[in-house]
Structure 1
Amino acid sequence: MKFIICTFLMLFIVDVSTAQLLTGKIYELDEGNKKLPLAGSNIYWRGTQIGTTSNNDGYFELLKVDSSELYLVVSYIGYKADTVQVPFNQDSIEITLSINREISEVVVTGISFSKFVDELDAKPTEIITSKELLKAACCNLSESFSTNTSVDIQFQDAVTGAKQIQLLGLAGNYTQIMFENIPTLNGIANTFGLGYVPGPWMTGISISKGAASVVNGYESITGQINIDYKKPDDIERYYFNAFQSSHFKTDLNANAAVHLTENMSTMLLAHTNFRAKAIDDNQDSFADQPKVKQFNFLNRWKYESFNGHNAQFGIQILNEERRGGQVTSNAQGQRYEMNVDSKHIEMFAKNGFVFNAEPYSSLGLILDGHIHQQNSLIGLRQYDAKQSSFYSNLLFEARTYDEIHSVTIGGSYVFDQYKEEFDSLNFFRKESRPGLFVEYNFSPSNLLSVVPGARIDFHNLYGTFFTPRIHIKYSLDYNTTFRVSAGKGVRSVNLISENL
């Protein structure tokens, strides 16, 4: 009798424990709608912390909880989670998860430095972001370096108010200045050019010390400064800025961007600055800074086809008047005066074609033309000059699949015409220089980059120039990087305008 009772109790316990255990399999569907086991799925009872995971065969076992309603939740990363109601008397189940093709909104936030050294560039390149430009409360390019130790800014003289930069200890004439990889502010415009770039127009500045890339020409000797402007497809739609200094200098800036179509957008940038009052704080009868009145407008367009073709073009118009010298006359009723009137008009166009995403290859064409006219009266001497320039650069770039090797080849053509009158002396010259270049980039890892390059240019006045350059970067660790740059550079001298 005791044996029968014990056997009955054992069967009852086994039956109850079996009824409290849920077994099952989790599957996914392949492209042919065939079931495949989904290993590592998360399985748990809703509202509890009781759960398990599926094994390599998609199989799982899970004890039931004491509840009037059982809801089983199954989830896996990249798949839609599923919640299934399980009757208490059900002891096995099969669940198939489907791929989640829609993801919820993902918000990524980060903090960038206001200025930093580009760790991937083989050239020693420092990046100044818009955050750093705001610190300087800058009104033009010269004042944007006030918080930067890489570039020194100093007055060339107080009479004209001209400022010049110094890089690696040499004057700014030996530094190539570019607007989005287009050489600018060269020749006659170099004297007052730093004041032609409004601060609120800029979104970033790249400063490369030493010999720069051969792609942009042979003029960079001490370094290269590349300026990025606001673009029509940026997030910013409208902007207005006003600035007033204690020396009665007023700056007004405004820009507006419009998306005309899905592919086309345009932006108008406007700037004016003026100083109507001459100040002589040191009582030397000369104005501390000249009175300036400038109007500067830039209209740029951007086209993006979304199939590999991008284009940009624009026009800039500038007019500036400078008045300086003595604020009071001498005993003879004479006054030393400085009058400089500048007019600048520039048009540019950039076209790019991307042929293959993998391996990457692209073709780019850059065109730029500008006319700069300057009429100057300094003391009793008259200096009038006009510069007409054209720049073109065609380049082809190709990379391997692994991006270890890349090469850029191309050709450029630059034409400058100068007409200068200094008192009774007349100077006229034309510079025409076609050129070819090649640059190779070897980067087997983020630790090592070797970038040799060379170009050859044929100058109509000074003969043939061969310009070799090389850049090497090696990182020992996260905090230690060695860079070596070597190369050659050449520039044409504008004797009078550079020594006003």
Structure 2
Amino acid sequence: MLTNFTIHKKWIGIVILMLFSLSFQAQSTLSGQITSNKTPVDFASVYLKGTQLGTSTDTSGKFQIKNIPAGTYTIIASSVGFISEKKTITFKENENITLNFNLKEDNAVLDEVVISGTMKEVSKLASPVPVEVYTAKFFKANPTPSIFESLQNVNGVRPQLNCNVCNTGDIHINGLEGPYTMVLIDGMPIVSGLSTVYGLTGIPQSLIERVEIVKGPASTLYGSEAVGGLINIITKKPSSAPLVSTDIFATTWEEVNADVGVKYNLGKKVDALLGVNYFNYSNPIDNNNDGFTDVTLQNRISLFNKFSFQRKNNRVFTVAGRYVYEDRWGGEMNWEPKYRGGNEVYGESIYTSRWETFGIYQLPTTELINFQFSANGHNQNSVYGDTKYLADQYIAFGQFTWNKVLGKHDILTGAAYRYTYYDDNTPATAKGENLENDPAITHLPGFFVQDEITFNQQHKLLIGMRYDYNSIHGGILSPRVNYKWTSPNQKNILRLSVGNGYRVANVFTEDHAALTGARDVVFEDELLPETSWNGNINFVKKIYLEGGTFIGLDASAFYTYFSNQILPDYETDPNKIIYSNLDGSSVSQGISLNVDVTLKNGLKINAGGTLMDVTVEEDGKKYRQLLTERFQGVWSAGYTIKSLGLTIDYTGNLYGPMRLPVLGELDDRPEFSPWWSIQNIQLTKNFGEHFQLYGGVKNLLNYTPPANSIARAFDPFDENVVFDGNGQVIPTSDNPNALTFDPSYVFAPNQGIRGFLGFRYTLY
């Protein structure tokens, strides 16, 4: 890996020298102010379309962009809650131009730029694929140490904890398990496989521009894993990021989280953005008195660096890299590292070391051809009691895309290739009677094409097809069709979509329950790829009332049908987890509604609810999928007292009952969880232009799951459990409910009420 780094370093140095060798051209400066009704708009984005040049306004709405080559450019000014405005300006050599913008309010926030639905930048209003956009400001209303926890206030999205001991988790979209969700950074597939469970942490939030969410299959563009939907984390452009951004907070549980971002330059042609995230929690707490830590102890550091190269004709070239190291453990309160992997004191200890690199290079051609690439390596060293899980995974991805507009047709074609190497110490990578080690290597070349047809301003049709060839499972086709209708006044939008998704599963990288607890893992057959068909109807309506009140409605109905689905069977045998392709079908269906309300006095409310039904049908029986709620509600209310410079944010969520994995008929724990809610309040005070102080209370209701969620926490190695000849538990006077140690009965975080205090410092 060091050799590769040396080669990359040498290559970057050569590129920089080549850029410096170009002849010098006198460059211009653009400055101005952005206002709305004579009020400055702070932190608005200003950029030159088609280039990497841009910046953000300060608290007085002023901006300045330097080093602009001579030429004609379209200048775009945009901010959340306002309609974007653009002006065309011609710059001569060594010219200073002043340009002001007056933005009009658009509380529906429908004109934001998104890329996730069609793999190219389009306005949210014009996108035929419904894309939900959440800005950094949204997540600041409830600060968290990771993007995993930040998603708890997004309608239809739920961070799911998979273990009461080590607190690893994944992201559910519309009730579908985490491995069905693809996570990307800047449009590149980074989080998959091992990191679906372990790696969705450590992304410096100070560098996040926005998060885009697409619900439903996106395999036509993004391939395997994008079955239930995708989450695209868009990082800031180095040219428009602040010089310094700092966000540090601590809680009364003695958690500490620090985010630091710094912008710097490597000469005049290379802009760079460095981000560091550090999180530490080293205070064992056992409030429910079960002898186990309520929350895992963690020590995590993440380093992120992004480079943007200025090229001739403003062609795009960016490269970014990230490294994450995490040491986490949970278990009995008297656990120490010396007990790691033994059977004296139970603990689950996970060492994660992960690197990533990704970028985009626009080819020097008259046609718009981009080469996108990413690679990552993930090393996992884990123990669950006396069970060890050691794994290495390496993924390399490359993709060429060509975008061509022919009349009413906007065509995007691409060719992609993904290489996956996976090795571990489980039967998943063993062969033969002697179980010799046999790492899994998968080649996945693919080709896709989509045609976005604009009939007129009201009607748009998107059709697409992808073909992938998996070196193990063969060829897979993934088609999709999307249609968008917009009313003449653009206050009503209807979107219809039908698509196909597929996924190749690896149980040990995706299901933490396969490794923890006392259950044996059983594979009935070789696991085949899962496939799904999805239909979605989305309707958006904007309502303007007298007095300045605005109401925005965003409603959806969804239906997903799965075949060959892989679901863990906890119920056939309480001592086993049985994995096989479903001999039947499963369905995820439901409706959701998001409501945005803005009052003239400045009160803003965002609320949403999803009513869903996720069922499995097999052998003539129909039942609810485990760990899936029927109802989810979220809300966020914010109000700013301008005279005091004080903002109040109240956020929360509400979940309906979920069916839980009990250990047989004698298990006295409830089969269904209760209704539960996590609510938070925060006060934020601005001091001048650069400094911000915030604090509040998390989990106001002090909700935690039942104290007996971990079965037989007092006997984690099952030393006093009696089994019969078939491996079944025999009820005894010491174990009348025939239980074994099992931490998989989990549906809510085990962390109670706590206060927090933090500050943000931003320098432009």
TM range (shorter): 0.7 to 0.9
Measured in 1, the distance between the counterparts of 2:193 and 2:237 equals: 27
1:142 to 140, 148, 171: 148
CA shift, 1:114, in A, is 9.4
- Please identify the structure whose Cα radius of gyration is greater: 1
- Number of the residue aligned with 2:486: 475
Aligned to 1:460: 471
In structure 1, the residue corresponding to 2:218 is in which secondary structure?
Answer: coil
Residue aligning to 2:409: 405
1 CA distance for matches of 2:472 and 2:460? 37
Of residues 198, 218, 221, the one that matches 1:215 is 221
Match of 1:492 among 504, 507, 512: 504
Residue 199 of structure 1: aligned partner: 205
Deviation string, structure 1 residues 288-311 (Cα, Å, up to 9, x no partner): 111011111011111122414221
Query: TM-score scaled to structure 1, two decimals?
Result: 0.73
Matched letter for residue 488 of structure 1:
N
Task: State whether residues 202 and 301 of structure 2, in contact with CA within 8 Å, keep that contact through their aligned partners in structure 1.
Answer: no
Matched, 1:350 2:360: yes
Q: Is the 8 A contact 1:114 1:132 kept in 2?
A: no
Equivalent of 2:447 in 419, 431, 436: 436
Aligned length: 392
Matched, 1:246 2:240: no
Partner of 1:85: none
Percentage identity across paired residues of the two chains = 22
**Preserved contact between residue 218 and residue 230 of structure 2 (Cα < 8 Å):** yes
Letter in 1 for 2:100: V
Per the TM alignment, residue 456 of structure 1 is displaced from its structure 2 partner at its CA by 0.9
After TM superposition, give the deviation of residue 186 of structure 1 in Å.
0.4
For 1:176-191, list aligned pairs within 5 A.
176-191=182-197
Preserved CA contact (<8 Å) 1:179 1:226? yes
Tell me the secondary structure at the aligned position of residue 195 of structure 2.
helix
Please say which of residues 409-418 and 104-113 is displaced more in the overlay: 104-113
Q: Is the 8 A contact 1:130 1:203 kept in 2?
A: yes
- Whole-angstrom CA distance in 1 between matches of 2:369 and 2:233: 22
The 3 A distance-change label for structure 1 pair 104 and 481 is closer
TM-score (norm 2): 0.49
Select 1:416's aligned residue among 415, 420, 423. 420
Map 1:378-393 → 2, pairs under 5 A: 378-393=384-399
Give the letter aligned to residue 368 of structure 1.
S
* 2:225 partner letter: E
* Structure with higher RCO (Cα < 8 A, 6+ apart): 2
8 Å Cα contact 2:392/2:422 also seen in 1: yes
Taking a change above 3 Å as real, the CA distance of residues 232 and 147 of structure 1, as seen in their structure-2 partners, is same
- Partner of residue 350, structure 2: 340
Instruction: Give 1:314's aligned residue.
Output: 320
Distance 1:418 1:481 in 2: 44
What displacement does 1:381 show? 0.4
**Post-superposition shift, 1:250?**
0.7
Describe the superposition over 1:146-203 as per-residue Cα deviations: whole angstroms up to 9, x where unpaired: 3221312222222111122111210121111111110011011111222232322311
Structure 2: which amino acid aligns with 1:339? S
Match in the other structure for 2:100: 106
* Structure 1 counterpart of 2:239, from 228, 233, 236: 233
Moved more, 158-167 or 384-393: 158-167
Q: Secondary structure at the match of 1:391?
A: strand
- Taking a change above 3 Å as real, the CA distance of residues 470 and 218 of structure 1, as seen in their structure-2 partners, is farther
Comparing 220-229 with 204-213, greater Cα deviation is found at 204-213
The 2-side partners of 1:377 and 1:213 are apart by: 34
What's the CA shift string for 1:340-380, capped at 9, x where partnerless? Answer: 00101122231014755xxxx41000111111000110011
Q: Any gaps of 5 or more consecutive residues in structure 1? A: 1-100
Contact residue 374 and residue 385 of structure 1 kept, 8 A: yes
The residue type equivalent to 1:441 in the other structure is: E
1:104/1:371 Cα in 2 relative to 1: closer, same or farther (>3 Å)? closer
- Flag the 1:143–1:219 CA change in 2: closer, same or farther, 3 A: same
Once the two structures are TM-superposed, the CA of residue 390 in structure 1 deviates from its matched residue by: 0.4
Please show how residues 5-404 of structure 1 align to structure 2 within 5 Å.
105-109=99-103, 118-212=124-218, 214-328=220-334, 334-353=344-363, 355=365, 361-400=367-406, 404=408
Alpha-carbon spacing, 1:255–1:235, altered in 2? closer, same or farther (3 Å): closer
How far residue 229 of structure 1 moved from its aligned partner, in angstroms, is: 1.1
Q: Deviations over 1:233-285 (max 9, x none)?
A: 12411111211122221111111111333321112111110101111111111
The runs of 5 or more residues in structure 2 that have no matched partner are 1-94, 113-123, 336-342, 513-764
Offset at residue 103 of structure 1 (A)? 7.4
Q: C-alpha distance in 2, partners of 1:340/1:154? A: 18
**Aligned to 2:313, what secondary structure does the other structure show?**
coil
Q: CA deviation at 1:115?
A: 6.7
SS in structure 2 opposite 1:159? coil
Asked if the contact 1:414/1:434 (under 8 Å) is kept, the reply is: yes
**Structure 1 residues 105 and 184 mapped into 2: Cα distance closer, same or farther (>3 Å)?**
closer
